[in-house]
Amino acid sequence: MSDHHVYKKVEIIGSSKKSIEDAIENALEECGKSVRNMEWFEVTETRGHIVDGKVGHYQVVMKVGFRIADS
């Protein structure tokens, strides 16, 4: 184990008909299926789709930070 860590960030977009929080959870769950060592996220954009004057779904653009293996 080294005494330093190296990280990388990827941008992902999550969506949900339920809530912004659910959109975040959905995005992290799916991202976690292919990205290991996830350590943080930051929401950079929040938006939604309008259907008949109401929220059709919420969408969040996120950056997810993960540690490079063995760093």
Query: Along the chain (71 residues), what's the average pLDDT of each consecutive run of 10 residues?
Result: 81 98 98 96 97 97 93 72
- The structure's pTM equals 0.86
Q: What distance in Å separates the CA atoms of residue 37 and residue 49, rounded to the nearest whole number?
A: 32
Amino acid at 5: H
Amino acid at 45: E
C-alpha angle with apex 23: 22 to 29, nearest 5 degrees?
Answer: 85
Looking at residue 2, its pLDDT comes to 53
